[in-house]
């Protein structure tokens, strides 16, 4: 119940296209859902995060869609660029803790 | 923004030696820091929660005597891999929180044990 399932494992998108990464969870106590971007040999960097009281959050080209009833959330990268090629992790945490449960990661490659 | 500095970026050591990795919050105080381990092409595995002024809390299966954590101040936590062996080779990452729920990560340390 503590797992966060992430898909797909890898994704190839053409430049300018939309990249979509999905995550699903079981624990209804999760109330904070961040997305991180990680380049090889670097630590993860926070991209965007959402709480379950909103269904969508947008920051620049990055959008999180959240479906509370389905216990699913997704990251959409609009106008994907080769520089977006990285590994993306979703995560979830419960109130009162900074302890994150991470998804398994999605390796995104954007073709020039 | 919140900056977490991790040092060294990479280290090579001989089997049986100990290695210390530092994690600093540069522009904020962090009462709690986290240490993760990451194998190639895999997710982050939480090893322990480091609390300033108290003992670290280790996740199940993580050897306390192997991975010593010290959180001596509000801006510094250290991870010491004691008597390192080749199987300890991995990418180690720390994180810290400034306010709210956001975690900021260090740049990671690649440890190679020969």
Read off the pLDDT of residues B49-85 as tens digits, 9 standing for 90 and up.
988 888 899 999 999 999 999 988 889 999 999 999 9
Structure tokens at B72: 């001596």
d(CA A27, CA B92): 27
Nearest to A43 among B49, B97, B108 (CB): B108
> What are B's interface residues with A at a Cβ cutoff of 8 A?
4, 6, 32, 34, 41-44, 46, 49, 91, 93, 95, 97, 101-108, 110
pLDDT at B16: 96
For residues A101 and A47, the answer to whether their CB atoms sit within 8 Å is no
Find chain A residues with C-beta within 8 A of B32's C-beta.
98
Matching residue, tokens 């898909």: A7
Residue % of chain B over a pLDDT of 70: 97
Q: How confident is the model at residue B88 (pLDDT cuts 50, 70, 90)?
A: very high
Nearest to A43 among B43, B49, B106 (CB): B106
Q: pLDDT digits over A78-94, tens only? A: 999 999 999 999 999 98
pLDDT at B54: 84
Residue numbers of A between 53 and 112 with CB closer than 8 Å to B: 89, 93, 98-100, 102-105, 107
CB count in 10 Å sphere of residue B100? 9
d(CA B65, CA B80): 10
- Across residues B4-33, what is the average pLDDT? 94
- Across residues B7-21, what is the average pLDDT? 97
d(CA B106, CA A80): 26
In this model, does residue B98 exceed pLDDT 80?
no
Q: How confident is the model at residue A1 (pLDDT cuts 50, 70, 90)?
A: low
Length of chain B as a residue count: 114
Find chain B residues with C-beta within 8 A of A32's C-beta.
101
- Across residues B33-57, what is the average pLDDT? 91
Specify which residues B19 forms β-bridges with.
Answer: B81
- Across residues B28-34, what is the average pLDDT? 89
Find chain B residues with C-beta within 8 A of A49's C-beta.
101-102
């Amino acid at each position: 119940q503590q797992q966060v399932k992430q898909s797909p494992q890898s994704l190839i998108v053409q430049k300018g296209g939309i990249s979509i990464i999905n995550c699903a969870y079981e624990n209804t106590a999760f109330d904070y859902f961040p997305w991180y971007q990680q380049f090889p040999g670097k630590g993860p960097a926070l991209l965007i995060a959402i709480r379950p009281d909103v269904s969508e959050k947008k920051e620049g080209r990055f959008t999180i869609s959240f479906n509370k009833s389905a216990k699913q959330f997704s990251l959409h990268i609009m106008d994907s660029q080769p520089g977006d090629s990285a590994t993306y992790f979703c995560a979830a945490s419960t109130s009162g803790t900074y302890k994150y449960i991470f998804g398994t990661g999605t390796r995104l490659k954007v073709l020039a | 923004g919140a900056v977490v500095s991790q040092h060294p970026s990479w280290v090579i050591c001989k089997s049986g030696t100990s290695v210390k990795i530092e994690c600093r919050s540069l522009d904020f105080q962090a009462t709690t820091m986290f240490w993760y381990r990451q194998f190639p092409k895999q997710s982050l595995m939480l090893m322990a929660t480091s609390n300033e002024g108290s003992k670290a809390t280790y996740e199940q299966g993580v050897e306390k005597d192997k991975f010593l954590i010290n959180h001596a101040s509000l801006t510094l936590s250290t991870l010491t891999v004691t008597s390192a062996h080749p199987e300890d080779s991995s990418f180690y990452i720390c994180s810290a929180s400034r306010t709210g729920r956001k975690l900021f990560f260090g740049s990671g340390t690649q440890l190679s044990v020969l």
